[in-house]
Amino acid sequence: MTPTEATRTRPEREELGQQIQRLLGAGRAREPIAPEAAACEVVVEPESIDEIRELVRKCETDRLTVAPLGSARTLSEIRTSRVAFGVSLARMRRVIAYEPGDMTIVAEAGVTLGELNRLCFEHRQRLPVDPREPDRTTVGAMVGASHAGPTRLSEGTVRDLLIGVGFIGHGGRLARGGGRVVKNVAGYDLMKVMTGSFGTLGIVVEAAFKVRPIPENYSLAVRRFRRDTEAFEAAATLNEALAMVHLEVLSPGPSAALGYDYDWVVMAGFAGNRAELDYQRAKIVEVLGSEADMLEGACAESSFASLRDMDFPADGLVAQIAVKPAELARCARECSGEYRAHAGSGVAQVWFEEIGEGTAEQTVTRWREMARRAGGSLRVLRAPETMRAEIEFFDRPSDGAFSLMKRLKQTFDPANIFNPGCFVGGL
Amino acid sequence: MSATPAKEKRTGRTLVEELAAIVGEDGVVSRPTELKVYECDGWTVEKSAPELLVLPRNTKQVSGVLKALHRRAIPFVARGAGTGLSGGALPIGAPVMVCTSRMNRILAIDLANRRIEVQSGVVNLNVTSAVRSRGFFYAPDPSSQAACTIGGNIAENSGGPHTLKYGVTTNHVLGLELVLPDGEVVELGGAAEERCGYDLVGAVVGSEGTVGIVTRATLRLLREPESRRTILAAFPDVDSATRTVSAIIASGVIPGAIELMDRLIIRAVEEAFHVGLPADAGAVLIVEFDGYAAGLDERASAAVEIARRYGATDSRLARSEAERALLWKARKRAFGAVGRLAPNYATHDGVVPRTHLPQILREISAISERYGLAIGNVFHAGDGNIHPIILYDERHPEQVRRAIDAGRDILRACLAMGGSLTGEHGIGAEKMGEMPLMFSPDDLLAMAALRRVFDPGERANPNKIIPRPGACVEVAAPHRQVPV
């Protein structure tokens, strides 16, 4: 039996909120504000693991749906109906342990990436995951949605850095996997299972990460091109010659939004000690020519921040393709929209600023088939609310893999209460 | 328990015939004398031969074999090269062993995308050998890399010295073909970096053969670094060496590798290979930096300076590729060299937070004295992954017992310092009994549930990783036979 997802009346929502106050205490439930309102009917703000356990048990007993919110950006964009409870971990934002000598950090899931990195910065370290707006990205959301950004090329993604996880799942049980050390193969890898599971298996309450040293110097080479082919060729040559920190190709729209002319632009980050920097700069000039801008210091940092925080059109159709790296240029072009391509990683965000009524599904299908032909897949990141119902946000894996996924969901969430209905294949 | 009860065979003649029809006559081994070789892997403390060994050549045959076993509800264990160190390939209640050694083909090399597709029986080193001339390598490099297979590496989530910088197996596997215990073949992941839906590839890597048999893998290749600097630094004691490790990493650069060998290992290695390690040193570190040639000298001299500050008596740079290769040969064959010091040895694989290395090594030294057994240390110091090698003589049952107990004490000390039971060898049969010390019953419940997603009947490598509630002693004891 699927828990009810029908929209509740205001008095019904108030009653749900009161139930939570009775269960967990005053001030634990509130009305959702935007963008939460698109994702849930009541926001619950627990203060402890025990309160989340109570909440999950109630949801299983009363067949009420529940989803971890983060700052509700992702969830509000992928849900077509609202869950009863959105769990905000705004009151669970403790850094449990930061050991600079061991280069590990453990935090409650409500801590934002920005907070973590300000702490690490004191020791010239960082958690090198760079989704948009780190101050609005909680640890829980970063794990749940597997958010990543440009530095995935050199530092990997959440799955490469997450060394321990704790989540509240079926029965209100707290399960932990991994630990607090950088190398660890004891037991099954629950970190991988939770990363990118979009809250469908339980509520992540804490996470442990490896952190990395901040490079001594970071520089950014920027070069505009009149053609996309030239931009991608230059990026490919750089990727062959050097180990770039990140390597983006932007189409004219985002390029202009970042203050460059309406052209294709390559943004190549590189880092190291002085000798390494000089060596790389010389190579980059060989490839990009002397007209490339070489940004250093604060200027490079702020340009990187703009690249990282770049937003996609609010009312457009936005998707992420992940294909074989050598196929990325062709796919980005064939999407015939705007894009930010992570060259070398084979991942790009592609979008149309506007999408005509009724054409979203057709576009997604076209993009998806193209990504599949290039050995990959496509995930829709954002679509106008009116068109969401017609679109499958997550690509389907092979039949065999999907039946394992169904079993995984049924095993970890037999009551089907955790963020149901919006993940791959409707899980 | 002193003796294994006489086992009733679960593999009759009809099964042998059916399997032979799938893999060919030469692909089924049933003679006990021939099966003796397969009675253990690198964890030699426990031994138990399978009733049958099957050697398939391709996915279809693996699927056929597992279907035949599924119909009879017969458990099985997969084996690659048998170099595992935790008894992962030890049959415990698994009458049939499926060995992947004949599935040793490299299927596709795609340098434009930095991918390689291999059958799971391909030897680890052969992956790098296939692409080295084109300037690429496969990063995970366990000491046994000249023998161990990619399938075994995937099962154990293997590491190696250079995983400090480059990550372990799970960071390099993009796609898998897995034959489930009922014989169904599933494709997981692929050639792209992002996955659709749950990360099942991540769940399979490190599952120690308990979710089915991996038959094919798509791996990530990396560009060979332009240049390397390899430093050998000698210290009066392990304490100063381990402090140096933390200081080098705290200086803000992750070296390619940092390996430590203590006095006992230095002696063994020197006797075996004559590489010129300083025989009077209490410990040596091998520190390797890799990357652009331009910045390496600066990095190497900074590390040498740190080592000197922390008490190194001597530091030298490998002057040629041959000298570097010799150092690594010494390091990777350290385990073999130890064989000269005692008839038997057990290698452990605990992890501590890196800054606790001095404490754990003092603790190991105390344990060595307490049990009257020599213990050598050669390990991946950069990530706190210790490999104490306990020397013993299996002809003395009482020594075997002491070796087991000393190993347990070391692992408990690792856990007390916030560490882990295993950094790269796996839990296997060896450390199953210790799992409840590291994980709560609810943690283990979630892990067991994950395993049953793939293997509801728990027939793939049964009796591993997770002890049955309240029964861990019964599971382990009958097989913990003391060889005579």
- Does B466 sit within 8 Å of A323, measured CB to CB? no
Average pLDDT, chain B: 91
Residue keyed to tokens 């595992």? B84
Q: Test A347 with B223 for CB contact under 8 angstroms.
A: no
Distance from CA of A59 to the nearest CA of B (A): 19
Residue A1 lies inside a defined structural domain of this protein: no
Span B59-81, mean pLDDT? 97
- Single out the residue in A87, A109, A133 at which a domain terminates: A87
Count other Cβ atoms within 10 Å, centred on residue B170.
25
Residues B292, A276: C-beta atoms closer than 8 Å? yes
Q: Residue B39 is which amino acid?
A: E
CA B258 to chain centre: 18
Residue-wise pLDDT for B387-445, tens only, equals: 999 999 989 999 989 998 999 999 999 999 999 999 999 999 989 999 999 999 999 99
Together in a domain, A242 and A208 = no
Residues A91 and A110 sit within 8 Å (Cβ to Cβ) = yes
pLDDT digits (tens, 9 = 90+) for B261-318: 999 999 999 988 888 889 899 999 999 999 999 999 999 999 999 999 999 999 999 9
- Can you tell me which residue has the tokens 């607090």? A180
CA torsion angle B347 A180 A217 B245 (round to 10): -40
pLDDT at B160 over 50: yes
Dihedral sign, Cα of residue B224, residue B226, residue B232, residue B238: negative
Distance separating alpha carbons of residues A212 and A104, to the nearest angstrom = 9
B61/chain A closest Cα distance in angstroms: 18
Nearest to A400 among B184, B291, B435 (CB): B184
Question: Strand A83-87 and strand A66-68: pairing?
Answer: parallel
Q: Which of A87, A105, A129 is the endpoint of a domain?
A: A87
Q: Is A193 helix (H, G, I), strand (E, B) or coil?
A: helix
* Cβ count within 10 A of residue B364: 25
> A179 at the B interface (CB within 8 A)?
yes
Pick B453's closest partner by Cβ from A279, A411, A424: A411
- Best of A143, A185, A350, A409 to mutate (most B CBs within 10 Å, chain B): A185
Which helix (H) or strand (E) covers residue B290, if one does?
A: strand B283-291
Which pair of structure tokens corresponds to residue A263? 């052209």
> Which option is the CATH number for B1-224+431-484: 3.90.79.10, 3.90.1580.10, 1.10.10.60, 3.30.465.10?
3.30.465.10
Coil, strand or helix at B258: strand
How far apart (Å, rounded) are the C-alpha atoms in residues A380 and A319? Answer: 4
The full length of chain A comes to 427
B453: distance to nearest CA of chain A, Å?
6
pLDDT tens profile B24-42: 999 999 999 999 999 999 8
Which of A106-110, B337-341, B350-354, B398-402 bottoms out in mean pLDDT, i.e. has the lowest?
Answer: B337-341
In angstroms, what separates the C-alpha of A173 from chain B's closest C-alpha?
Answer: 7
The one-letter amino acid code at A15 reads: E
Could you state, in order of their start, the residue ranges of all structural domains in chain B?
1-224+431-484, 227-337
Q: What is the pLDDT of residue B394?
A: 86
**Residue A427: inside a domain:** no
**Looking at beta carbons, which residues of chain A come within 8 Å of B212?**
none
Q: How many domains does chain A have?
A: 4
Q: Is A134 in CB contact (< 8 Å) with chain B?
A: no
Over range B334-338, report the average pLDDT. Answer: 83
Q: Which pLDDT does position A213 carry in this prediction?
A: 93
Residues of B73-89 as b/e, b for ≥16 C-beta within 10 angstroms?
ebbbbbbbbbbbbbbbb
Q: Which amino acid is at A326?
A: A
The reply to whether A113 and A76 lie within a common domain is: no
Q: Do the chains contact at B447 and A176, CB–CB below 8 Å?
A: no
pLDDT confidence tier of residue B346, bands split at 50, 70 and 90: confident
Q: Do domains B1-224+431-484 and B227-337 have the same CATH topology?
A: no
* Structural domain contains residue A362: yes
- Residues A281 and A342 reside in one and the same domain: no
**Residue type for position A88:** S
Burial of A269 (0-12, 13-18, 19+ CB in 10 A): buried
Write the CA distances from B400 to A152, B404, B483, integer angstroms.
48, 6, 9
**Distance spanning both ends of chain A, measured CA to CA:** 14
pLDDT (0 to 100) of residue B114: 97
How confident is the model at residue B109, as a pLDDT?
98
Q: Give the sheet arrangement for strand B96-99, strand by strand.
A: B28-29, B52-54, B96-99, B76-79
In this structure, the answer to whether residues A320 and A414 fall within a common structural domain is yes
Task: Look up the domain containing A19 and give its range.
Answer: 10-87
Q: Check CB contact of A398 with chain B, cutoff 8 Å.
A: yes
A424 vs B: CB within 8 A: yes
Distance, CA of B225 to chain centre: 25
Share of chain B above pLDDT 70, in %: 95
Q: What is the pLDDT of residue B187?
A: 97
What pLDDT score does B326 carry? 87
Instruction: List the pLDDT tens digit at each of the 427 positions of chain A.
Output: 344 455 789 999 999 999 999 999 999 999 999 899 999 999 999 999 999 999 999 999 999 999 999 888 999 988 889 999 999 999 999 999 999 999 999 999 999 999 999 999 999 999 999 999 999 999 999 999 999 999 999 999 999 999 999 999 999 999 999 999 999 999 999 999 999 999 999 999 999 999 999 999 999 999 999 999 999 999 999 999 999 999 999 999 999 999 998 899 999 999 999 999 999 999 999 999 999 999 999 999 999 999 999 999 988 999 999 999 999 999 999 999 999 999 999 999 999 998 888 889 999 999 999 999 999 999 999 998 888 888 999 999 999 999 999 999 999 999 999 999 999 999 9
* Confidence (pTM): 0.94
Give the 3-state secondary structure percentages of chain B, helix then strand then coil, rounded to 5: 40, 20, 40
- Rounded to whole angstroms, the Cα distance separating A65 from A199 reads 11
Q: What is the mean pLDDT of residues B327-341?
A: 84
Tens digits of residue pLDDT in B181-237: 999 999 999 999 998 899 999 999 999 999 999 999 999 999 999 999 999 999 999
Same domain? A192 vs A107: yes
B188 in helix, strand or coil?
Answer: strand
CATH of the domain at A48: 3.30.43.10
Please report, for the domain that includes residue A295, its CATH number: 3.30.70.2190
Q: What is the CATH number of domain B227-337?
A: 3.30.70.2190
Residues from chain A contacting residue B199 (CB–CB below 8 Å):
159, 192-193, 195-196
Q: What is the mean pLDDT of residues B148-158?
A: 97
B157-186 residues touching A, CB cutoff 8 A: 157, 159, 163, 167-168, 170-171, 180, 184-186
Residue B462 has pLDDT above 90, yes or no: yes
- The beta strand positions in A297-401, using DSSP E, are 317-322, 338-342, 347-352, 377-382
Claim to verify: residue A237 and residue A200 sit in the same structural domain = no
Per-residue confidence (pLDDT) for residue B274, from 0 to 100: 86
Residue A390 in domain: yes
DSSP string, B88-131: TT--SS--EEEE-TT---EEEEETTTTEEEEETTSBHHHHHHHH
Residue A406 belongs to domain with CATH number: 3.30.70.2740
Distances (CA, A) of A145 to A70, B198, B418: 10, 11, 28
The CATH number assigned to the domain holding A154 equals: 3.30.465.10
- Report the complex ipTM: 0.96
What was the pLDDT predicted at A152? 97
Q: Which of A155, A181, A213 is the last residue of a domain?
A: A213
